[in-house]
Chain A
Amino acid sequence: MVAGPSGGGKSTLLRVFNGLVPHFHGGRIGGSAEVMGLNVIATPTRKMARHVGFVFQDPELQTVYNVVDREVAFGVENAGVPRRQISGRVEEALHAAGVAALVGRAVRTLSGGERQRVALASALAMRPSLVVLDEPTSQLDPDGAQMVLAAATNLVDEGRSVIISEHRLENLLRRAGGLFLVDRGIVNACDPSAWSPPAAPVRPARSAALGAEAWSLQRVSAGFDGRLVLDGVDLSGRSGEVVALTGPNGGGKTTLLRVIAGSLAPLFGSVWRRRGRVAYLPQNPTVLLHQPTVRAEVSFTLDRSGEAEPPGTILEELGLLPVADRYPRDLSCGERQRAALAAVLPGVPALVLLDEPTRGIDSSARDALVALVARLRDRGASVVLATHDDDLRNALADRVINVRDGKVSEMALAAST
C-alpha cells in the first residue's frame, strides 16, 4: 500500500512502476528502477505493459472503445495476441474483476464502480504479474469502492502482486504486505500493523442557531436527454444548516445540486432560493480552474462578488499558501480539489453547494474543509453537500437525505453511516 498527503508524490511513484515516469511524462530521473526483472528506465512503457497493469483514478478517462469486451481486449490486441485467444483472455479478465456479466454492455451505461472494474479487467487481460491501482476508489460510492477493493484483494489471493494508493486505508490494511508513506518526495516503509488511521474530524460546535428557510423545492422533477433523473422532489434547507446528500452513483445527487443552484431548470415543480451568492463546487472541480495562479482564482470570485476579503484568508485556511502562486492545473489531484474549493468558497456566500468536496484529498485537508464549512454555516450560509464520505457527513450534517433513483428520503443521522 502507498499512502501520504496530497501532492506528496504518490502518483509519480506509482508511474515509475510501468515507466510512465519518465517515458510518458518526461522530466529527469536518477538512480535505477527494476520491475519484474526489467530496467524501467531503459524499457518503454508499451513494453512494460505486458508485465505491469495500471488502473487510473478516473474511470471515464481511460476508455478507448465503447463496448465492454472490446475495451477489455484493447491491451491484448496491442500485444498482438492471436485472435482465437483474445476472447478467452477477455472472459478470464472480466471474471477475475468480477464483471463477467457486463459482456456486450455499452461502457456509457455502466456505473462508476462497474467502469472502474472494467478498467481493472482491461489491465488483467494482459496477464500482468504486477497490478498498480492509483486511488481507484476516489470517485466511487461505497458499494462501487467495495467492489473494486474486493476485486483487488482477490488478485492477491491468486498470487499476483498489487500496489494500491489510497487515502482510506482502513479496509485494506488487514491484507497489506507493506505500507509506504510518501511525503514531499520521500518514501518511508512502515509496518502496516502499527499504523493507526487518522482520527475522524471532530464535529465543530455550532455558534449560531438555524435561521429562516434559504431554499426549497416543491414537487420538482428534472432530467435531461429524455431521461427523468429527479422525480417529484420536495425538499428545503435553512440558513445555517448543513444538509448532506447521500446515495449511489447515478442516483440524482448532482442533478439535485444543479437544480438548487439554478443551473438546471426543473421540468415540473418550483424552486425558490433566497437572494445572495451561490458557491457551487462541481463534481469535476478542475473545470473551474483557468487563472494563472491559485491566488488569482480566489481573487476572480471575490472581484465578481464585490467582497473585500483578502484572498490569503481562505488560502491559509485550506493550507494552500505554499502553492498560492502556482498554476492550478500543475498541482496534484488533491491540491487541485482544494484550489477549486478556495475558488468558490471565499467571502460570504448565501448558499454553498459542494459536489464530492473530499474527492482525492487527505485527512488534514478534510479537517480544514470541515472547519471552513462550519465557519460559513455559522455566518448564515445554507450548505448542501453531496458526499460518500462518512466522516465528513458525521462532522457536518444536520440532516442526511438519501437520493436514490430520483427520489429523496430523510435518514436518521446514525443510520446514514
Chain B
Amino acid sequence: MNARAVAAWSACCLFVNLSTTNPVYKVMVLAAAVSVLAAGARLRRIRALLVAVLFIGTFAALLNFVSAHLGATVLFALPAQIPALGGPYTLEAMVFGAVGGITIAAAILSAAPFSLLLDSHEVMDALPAPLSRTGVAIAASLNLVPAVATSFIQVTDAQRLRGWKPRGPRSWMEVVVPVVLTSVEGSIQLAESMEARGFGSGARTTMAAHALRGSDWLVVAASGVALTAFAVAHATGWAADWFPYPTLTLPTIHPVPIAACLLLLTPVLVWRLRR
C-alpha cells in the first residue's frame, strides 16, 4: 500500500481515538488497527509489538487504579496511612484506567504500519519534494540502527574477554564509549559515501512512482469519509463522550460513529481483494 494511503488511515485512526473518551469507539479503533496489522504482516512480526502494547496498556490501567482513589463503587480499601497506595480502590478508577490503556494501545498500533508494513524508503518517498533530502538523511540514519546494535554486541563480547565486568554505571563507559565512537565513525563513512554519489548537488528526482493506485485511493477516501463523519458526529453529539466518575455508566452509541469506525477496516478489505 502506498505510504500516503497508510498515512491517511493512521491519521484517521488517531483522530477518532484521541478525539473521544467513549470506550466503544476506542475499542473499535484498536480492533481495526490489530486487524490491519494482522492482515498486512505476519503474526510473528507483530507478536512482539502486541506483547509490548499489552504490557504498556496494562501498566497504564494499573497506574490509574492504584493512584486515583475516586468513584462511588469501592472494591476494597487500604489504610490511609500507607503513602501513595492508601485509600479506597474503586471500580470507576479501574475502568477509567483500562480505557486509558486502550487509548495508548490504539495510538501505538495505529502508527505501527509505518514501521511494520512499509520500508523506510517508502515512507521517505511519500514525503513532499521540499522534504526529500531530509527524508533521505533519515532513511540513511535508519539503516545505521542495525549496525549500532551489532557494534554493541561486538564491543561487549570483546571487552568482556579483555577482563571487563559490569560493575555499576561507570564500568559501562568501557562499552558505551567504543559503541558511540564506532557509530559516529559509521555515520561519517556513510556521509562520505553519500557525498561521493552527489548527495546535495541540486534538485533530486526519484525513481519511485508516487501515484496512488485504485486501492490506495479507496483507503484514502474511506479514511477521509470516516474522519469527516466522526468529526460531524462529535460536533452534533451523536458520538457522545463518556466519563465513569462519580458512578459508572454504560457509554452511549450511535450508528454514524459506529459506521465511521467500521470504515477503518478498509485496508483489510483491500488486501483480501488483492489476494
Residues of A within 8 A of B (CB): 18, 20, 23-24, 44-47, 49-50, 53-54, 56, 58, 60-67, 69-70, 73-83, 86-87, 90, 108, 122-123, 126, 258, 261, 263-264, 277-280, 282-284, 286-290, 300-301, 304-305, 329, 343-344
CB–CB B155/A288 < 8 A = yes
Question: What is the number of contacts between chain A and chain B, taking CB atoms within 8 Å?
Answer: 165
Q: Take A282-B154, A286-B185 as given contacts and tell me if A65 and B121 are in contact as well, using a CB distance cutoff of 8 Å.
A: yes
Contact B201 A54 (CB under 8 A): no
A286 engages B193 (CB within 8 Å):
no
Q: Whose C-beta in chain A lies nearest to the C-beta of B142? A: A66
In the complex, the answer to whether A282 meets B157 with C-beta atoms within 8 Å is yes
Q: Does B73 contact A (CB under 8 A)?
A: no
- B164: interface (CB < 8 Å): yes
Closest to B165 in A: A304
CA gap between A159 and B206 in the complex, in Å: 29
Q: What would be 28 A-B contacts, judged by CB atoms less than 8 Å apart?
A: A20-B192, A49-B195, A49-B196, A49-B201, A61-B186, A62-B193, A63-B190, A64-B194, A65-B120, A65-B121, A66-B143, A70-B207, A73-B207, A76-B205, A77-B205, A77-B207, A78-B200, A78-B201, A78-B204, A79-B201, A263-B157, A263-B160, A283-B154, A287-B182, A290-B181, A304-B163, A329-B181, A344-B161
In the complex, are the beta carbons of B157 and A80 less than 8 A apart? Answer: no
Those of B45-63 within 8 Å (CB) of chain A: none
- B182 adjacent to A286 (CB under 8 Å): yes
Asked if A80 and B202 make an inter-chain contact with CB atoms under 8 angstroms apart, the answer reads: yes
Residues in B neighbouring A287, C-beta threshold 8 A: 151, 154-155, 158, 178-179, 182
Contacts of A44 in B (CB 8 A): 201
User: Is B189 among interface residues, defined by CB-CB distance under 8 A?
Assistant: yes
**Highest count of chain A CB atoms <10 Å: which of B120, B154, B177, B181:** B154
Which of chain B's residues has its CB closest to A297's CB? B162
Complex: A273 Cα to B185 Cα, angstroms: 35
With both chains docked as a complex, state the minimum distance between the C-beta of B162 and any C-beta of chain A, in angstroms.
5
Give the complex CA separation of A20 and B192 in angstroms. Answer: 8
Contact yes or no, A80 B204, CB < 8 A = yes
Shortest Cβ gap from A70 to chain B (Å): 5
Partner of A46, one of B146, B160, B182, B199: B199
B82 is an interface residue with CB less than 8 A from chain A: no
Q: Least Cβ distance of A44 to chain B in Å?
A: 8
Interchain CB contact under 8 A, A46 and B143: no
- B204 x A288 contact (CB < 8 A): no
A361 → B minimal CB distance (Å): 19
Question: Which residues of A lie under 8 Å from residue B195 when comparing CB positions?
Answer: 20, 23-24, 45-46, 49
Determine how close the nearest CB of chain B comes to the CB of A17; give it in whole angstroms.
10
Is there contact, CB below 8 Å, between A60 and B201?
no
Docked-complex contact B185 and A261, CB < 8 angstroms:
no
Q: Is B147 an interface residue (CB 8 A)?
A: yes
B190 touching A67 by the CB < 8 A rule?
no
Checking B185, B193, B199 against A329 with a beta-carbon cut-off of 8 angstroms, the contacting residue is B185
Known: A61-B193, A66-B119, A288-B155. A279 touches B161 (CB 8 A): yes
The answer, yes or no, to whether B203 is at the interface (CB within 8 Å) is yes
**Beta-carbon contact of A49 and B198 below 8 Å:** yes
Interchain CB contact under 8 A, A261 and B157 = yes
Q: Is A83 a contact of B206 with CB atoms below 8 Å?
A: yes
- Interface membership of B112, Cβ < 8 A: no
The distance from the CB of B156 to the nearest CB of chain A, in whole angstroms, is 8
The answer to whether B193 and A56 touch across the interface, beta carbons within 8 angstroms, is yes
A232–B161 Cα distance when bound, in Å, is 25
Chain B hits for A123, CB < 8 A? 196-197
B136 at the interface (CB under 8 A from A): yes
